[in-house]
C-alpha cells in the first residue's frame, strides 16, 4: 500500500481543516515546500496536494506552490482542488503534477471529466469521491448531491476510471479512525485502485487499510499532530 502524505494549501500555507470546514483551519507551516522536503528526506515518494483556495474559487490558484514542490523535489504529486477547465488541467500538468484529482467536475460536468480521461489516460486522472453520509459532496465540500458514493464510483469505473480517492468527510481531520466498512464495500463491489482518505489516527489505522486492500492511504493531520512519526511511516513504506 502506498503511503501518501497530504499538504492542503490555503493562502499559500500548509494547513489542515476539520471535516472540510474552512473556519477550523490550523496553519502548520508557512512554507509547504519545507514540509514536502521533509517528507522526501524520510523516504516518502508520493504526495497529495489540495488547493483549498482553488476549491473555493472554482479554478486553480496555488499552481506556484505546486511548481516549487515539483521543481525542488522528486515527489510524485497528485493535485486537486478547483480544477474545472481544460486550462486548469493544463496549468496543473505544466507545473509538474503527475496526476490530477477531479471530484466536483465529475458531478457537474461529466462530459468534460470523461474528455480528460480520454485525453490524458486513466493513470493521470483520479476520480475524487468525497462523501458525507455516503452522498457525494462537491465544491470544497460546501455543496452536497444526491449521488451515492458507491454508485458514483461504479458508474465511472464502467467509463474507464481506474484510480479513486474516497474521503469520508465526517472523518476528515478528526483523528478518530477510518471508514473501513465503506472502503471494504467499495473494494468488494468495484475493481478500482482505492486510495483511502480521512480519519487516519495511528499506524494501526494504516495497517487495517492495507489489510482491507486499499491501494493507497492519504495521511494528514495524524502526521502534523505527531500521532504518526515520519520514522514510523518510513518503516511502513
Q: Domains, the chain, ranges and CATH?
A: 2-236 (3.20.20.70)
Verify whether residue 88 is a known catalytic residue. Answer: no
The angle subtended at Cα 18 by Cα 95 and Cα 82, nearest 5°, is 30
Q: How confident is the model at residue 171 (pLDDT cuts 50, 70, 90)?
A: confident
d(CA 84, CA 56): 11
Tell me which of 8, 78, 88, 168 is the catalytic residue: 8
Which cell goes with 42?
A: 524520510
Q: Helix 32-41 and helix 63-72: axis angle, to 10°?
A: 30
Tell me the CA end-to-end span of the chain in Å, nearest whole number: 8
User: What is the residue-averaged pLDDT of the chain?
Assistant: 94
In Å, the largest CA–CA distance within the chain is 43
Rg (CA), the chain: 16
C-alpha distance from residue 205 to each of 9, 59, 79 (Å): 25, 33, 24
Q: In DSSP terms, which residues pair with 50 in a beta bridge? A: 8, 80
pLDDT tens digit sequence for 190-223: 999 999 999 999 999 999 999 999 999 999 999 9
Task: Point out the catalytic residue in the list 53, 88, 130, 205.
Answer: 130
Which has the higher per-residue pLDDT, 203 or 234? Answer: 203
Please determine, for residue 4, whether its predicted confidence score (pLDDT) is greater than 80. yes
Known catalytic residue: 8?
Answer: yes
Amino acid at each position: 500500500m502506498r503511503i501518501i502524505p497530504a499538504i492542503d494549501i490555503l493562502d499559500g500555507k500548509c494547513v489542515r481543516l476539520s471535516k472540510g470546514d474552512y473556519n477550523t483551519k490550523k496553519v502548520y507551516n508557512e512554507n509547504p515546500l519545507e514540509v514536502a522536503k521533509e517528507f522526501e528526506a524520510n523516504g516518502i515518494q508520493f504526495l497529495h496536494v489540495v488547493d483549498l483556495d482553488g476549491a473555493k474559487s472554482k479554478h486553480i490558484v496555488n499552481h506556484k506552490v505546486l511548481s516549487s514542490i515539483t521543481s525542488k523535489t522528486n515527489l510524485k504529486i497528485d493535485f486537486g482542488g478547483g480544477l474545472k477547465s481544460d486550462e486548469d488541467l493544463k496549468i496543473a500538468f505544466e507545473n509538474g503534477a503527475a496526476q490530477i484529482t477531479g471530484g466536483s467536475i465529475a458531478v457537474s460536468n461529466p462530459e468534460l471529466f470523461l474528455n480528460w480521461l480520454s485525453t490524458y489516460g486513466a493513470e493521470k486522472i483520479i476520480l475524487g469521491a468525497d462523501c458525507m453520509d455516503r452522498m457525494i459532496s462537491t465544491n470544497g465540500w460546501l455543496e452536497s448531491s444526491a449521488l451515492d458514493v458507491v454508485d458514483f464510483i461504479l458508474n465511472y469505473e464502467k467509463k474507464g476510471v481506474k484510480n479513486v480517492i474516497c474521503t469520508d468527510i465526517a472523518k476528515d481531520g478528526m483523528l478518530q479512525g477510518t471508514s473501513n466498512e465503506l472502503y471494504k464495500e467499495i473494494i468488494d463491489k468495484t475493481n478500482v485502485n482505492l486510495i483511502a482518505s480521512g480519519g487516519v489516527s495511528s499506524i494501526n489505522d494504516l495497517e487495517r487499510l492495507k489489510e482491507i486492500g486499499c491501494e493507497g492511504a492519504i495521511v494528514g493531520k495524524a502526521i502534523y499532530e505527531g500521532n504518526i512519526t515520519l520514522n514510523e511511516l518510513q518503516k511502513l513504506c
